[in-house]
Amino acid sequence: MHTYEPVRSRRLWLLALGCIAPLSAHATDAPQRNPAPTRANWAAIADLPDLSGVWAPGPLDKYVPGGPEAPQWLPAVARQVDHLKQLDAEGRPQNIYINCLPEGLPSSVTQNLNSVEFLVTPGRVTVLSELDGNRLRRIWTDGRPHPADPDPTFSGHSIGHWEGNTLIVDTIGFLPEVFIPLSQGVGFPNNGDMHVEERITLTGPDTMRQDIVVHAPKVLAAPWHASRSYTRHRERSYDLAESSCRQGDFLEATDAQGNAAFVPVPKDAGGATLPPDQATAPAIPTPSGTHP
């Protein structure tokens, strides 16, 4: 029978320590742990605004394009954005979500067309979504600070606290490639140092508002303010679905041995599915006006 034996050799112990120590700037600090929730922790959640359940986002009411609430880009960026908007208008969109990477903030708030689910548990609020695949976002409410140098991610590192009916969220630590979107066809990377502030407010029994302020000093001339409203749905038809962003790239088929298999679906450059016999090259364009 195998049993765990502590390292008895002093030499081995020192060797092990020598390997570990350079990885930690504070070798003497105890490793940080998430404490097991207590009955009191669970009970305290009943006194918080109830964000639980599935929420359908409202209209994309963030701004009127060209209006005072549209993102104010730095001049050099504005020229590039104008070019991207022109390409989009010509039917050659930039397609900022086409690679199936997570959309991240602020897209997951401002561009989302699918439901989101909030889970409020001791020390954290978890946001699940199904755009374009299932996504996970954690907002730590246990009082921890941001890490001094967080690993950059799509959704960043979020910490939050409650003020009345509002969850105040602060997020840093974004990958510089994460887009500030104008649409699914046009966006601009934040280019680094993005900082996002959010206020998530229960405004009625089943209504919620999410105000977001995006600070992106490398590309924006001023913080961008956007907001989104949500309606809660307790109907089971609104339960989040399993959603894999890449599943649509495959058809269910049967292989030569009769086994179930996924086969790739042909796509055009913009990501649209194509008939298999026209996968590689466009047909000769149909002269305009000759469609039936």
Partner 1 sequence: MKPLICVLAALAMAPLAAPASAHHSFAMFDPSKPMKFEAIVQNLQWTAPHAVLWVEAGKVGTYEAGVWSLELPTSPANLAKMGWSRMSVKAGDKVVVEINPMRDGRRAGQFKRATLTATGQVLSIGAIPGVQPPK
Q: Which residues is 129 bridged to in the sheet?
A: 116, 135
Q: What CA–CA distance (Å, rounded) separates 119 from 34? A: 17
Q: How far is the CB of 264 from partner 1 (least distance, A)?
A: 6
Rounded Cα distance, 278 and 210, in Å: 44
Between 91 and 143, name the residue whose CB sits nearer to partner 1. Answer: 91
Pair type for strands 207-215 and 195-204: antiparallel
Least distance to partner 1, CB of residue 220, Å: 23
Nearest Cα neighbor of 95 from 200, 226, 186 is: 186
Q: Which is nearer to partner 1, 206 or 211 (CB)?
A: 206
Give the shortest CB-137-to-partner 1 separation in angstroms.
17
To partner 1, the closest distance from the beta carbon of 68 in angstroms equals 21
Kindly tell me which of 92 and 218 has the beta carbon lying closer to partner 1: 92
Question: What's the min distance (Å) between Cβ of 169 and partner 1?
Answer: 22
* Residue 170 CB partners (closer than 8 Å, separation 6+): 146, 158, 159, 160, 195, 196, 197, 198
**Degrees (nearest 5) of the Cα angle 91, 104, 70?**
60
Residue with Cβ nearer partner 1 (259 or 286): 286
Query: Rounded to whole angstroms, how far apart are CA atoms 66 and 109?
Result: 20
Residue among 222 and 251 whose Cβ is closer to partner 1: 251
DSSP code, position 111: T
Query: Following DSSP, what letter does each residue of 125-183 receive, concatenated?
Result: EEEEE-SSS-EEEEEE-SSPPPPSSPPPBSS-EEEEEEETTEEEEEEE-B-TT-EEESS
- Shortest separation between residue 176's beta carbon and partner 1, angstroms: 21
Q: Which is nearer to partner 1, 147 or 270 (CB)?
A: 270
* 158/184 with CB nearer partner 1: 184
Between 31 and 91, whose beta carbon lies closer to partner 1?
91
> Which residues have CB under 8 Å from 175's CB, separation 6+?
104, 152, 153, 154
- Summarize as ranges the residues that interact with partner 1 (CB under 8 A): 56-60, 88, 91-93, 95, 97-100, 113-115, 130-133, 183-185, 230-231, 233, 237-238, 240-241, 243-251, 264-280, 282-286, 288-292
Residue 64 CB, nearest approach to partner 1 (Å): 14
Q: Which residues contact 251 (CB under 8 A, 6 or more apart)?
A: 262, 263, 264, 265
Query: In 10 A of CB 264, how many CB atoms?
Result: 10
Least separation in angstroms between residue 33's CB and partner 1 is: 31
Neighbouring C-beta atoms of residue 74, cutoff 10 Å: 17
